[in-house]
């Protein structure tokens, strides 16, 4: 019996970015068993004519007057009762995921309870600039995958408004790391953070797309971005699909 994989995508008012996210998931060498999409945009994806694949479960969470500025945690909590997978990946709509992303993350989950990619990679499309963070002590939620038991133990952390990813990796179970080559492994063996390198990376955080702004250092263009006027770094990180983002910006 094939192992079940649930992907969760919190989204809102990003129809163009979401459409590309749908394309990247369709290209996976190991497809998701279930894709839970939680949409709390002012205008729903359905109203904007976006279609969904057969394995997707679309959830409309109407915006509330008491919603915080960033609703990532609330949207993921909305997805929790619907999860069927034994492995859970958070897939954000403004990220590029290479075809082997789910496969590589799930392979590592065979030996670890929680897996993340460090040295976060960001590319700002309209400003033609890029950066790489040095984080190897935590991973962005958009590049974190869980076994079901570990995800369930982290449920309470999604009550927070921001820095959910940092809090997950700082918990007692995952905070004691040792270095192992390009990987950083917890002393207890529960978690692993690895660097997927620059040659054929399996993801790239895409910033500056139309729609609701996100949070975190990647959205702060002044935070260490380097100019890339010829888009050479974009082509290196996303060699087969970089033009999709350029076409998107062109309408």
- How is the chain split into domains, by residue range? 5-249
Of the options 3.40.50.720, 3.90.1490.10, 3.90.550.10, 3.40.190.80, the CATH number for the domain spanning 5-249: 3.90.550.10
Contact status, residue 119 vs residue 203, Cβ threshold 8 Å: no
Give the closest residue to 89 by CA, choosing from 69, 118, 109, 73: 109
pLDDT in tens, the chain (251 residues): 468 999 999 999 999 999 999 999 999 999 999 999 999 999 999 999 999 999 999 999 999 999 988 899 999 999 999 999 999 999 999 999 999 999 999 999 998 889 999 999 999 999 999 999 988 888 999 999 999 999 998 888 998 777 899 888 887 455 444 545 556 555 455 788 899 988 889 999 999 988 777 655 545 555 679 999 999 999 999 999 999 998 887 75
For residue 26, what is the enclosing H or E element? helix 15-26
Place of tokens 């958070």: 90
Q: What integer pLDDT is reported at residue 175 of this predicted model?
A: 46
Q: What integer pLDDT is reported at residue 47 of this predicted model?
A: 95
Q: Measured between alpha carbons, how far is 92 from 96 in angstroms, rounded to an integer?
A: 9
In this structure, the number of other CB atoms found within 10 A of the CB of residue 210 comes to: 14
What is the side-by-side order of every strand in the sheet holding 114-117?
A: 56-60, 34-39, 5-11, 87-90, 144-147, 114-117, 191-194, 183-186, 177-180
Cα dihedral across residues 244, 249, 250, 251: positive or negative: positive
Q: Measured between alpha carbons, how far is 235 from 231 in angstroms, rounded to an integer?
A: 6
Contact status, residue 132 vs residue 119, Cβ threshold 8 Å: yes
């Amino acid at each position: 019996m094939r192992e079940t994989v649930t992907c969760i995508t919190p989204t809102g008012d990003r129809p163009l970015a979401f459409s590309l996210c749908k394309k990247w998931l369709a290209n996976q060498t190991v497809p998701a068993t279930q894709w839970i999409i939680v949409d709390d945009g002012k205008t729903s994806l359905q109203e904007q004519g976006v279609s969904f694949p057969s394995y997707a479960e679309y959830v409309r969470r109407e915006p509330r007057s008491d919603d915080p500025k960033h609703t990532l945690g609330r949207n993921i909590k909305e997805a929790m009762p619907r999860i069927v997978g034994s492995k859970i990946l958070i897939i954000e709509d403004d990220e590029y995921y290479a075809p082997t992303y789910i496969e590589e993350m799930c392979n590592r989950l065979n030996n670890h309870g929680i897996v993340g990619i460090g040295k976060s990679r960001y590319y700002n499309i309209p400003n033609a600039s890029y950066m790489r963070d040095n984080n190897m002590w935590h991973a962005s939620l958009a590049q974190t995958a869980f076994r079901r038991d570990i995800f369930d133990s982290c449920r309470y952390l999604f009550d927070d408004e921001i820095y959910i990813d940092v809090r997950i990796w700082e918990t007692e179970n995952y905070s004691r790391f040792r270095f192992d080559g390009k990987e950083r492994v917890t002393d207890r063996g529960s978690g692993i953070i690895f660097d997927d390198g620059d040659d054929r990376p399996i993801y790239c955080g895409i910033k500056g797309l139309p729609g609701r702004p996100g949070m975190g250092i990647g959205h702060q263009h002044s935070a260490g971005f380097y100019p890339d006027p010829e888009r050479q770094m974009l082509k290196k990180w996303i060699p087969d699909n970089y033009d999709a983002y350029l076409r998107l910006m062109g309408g």
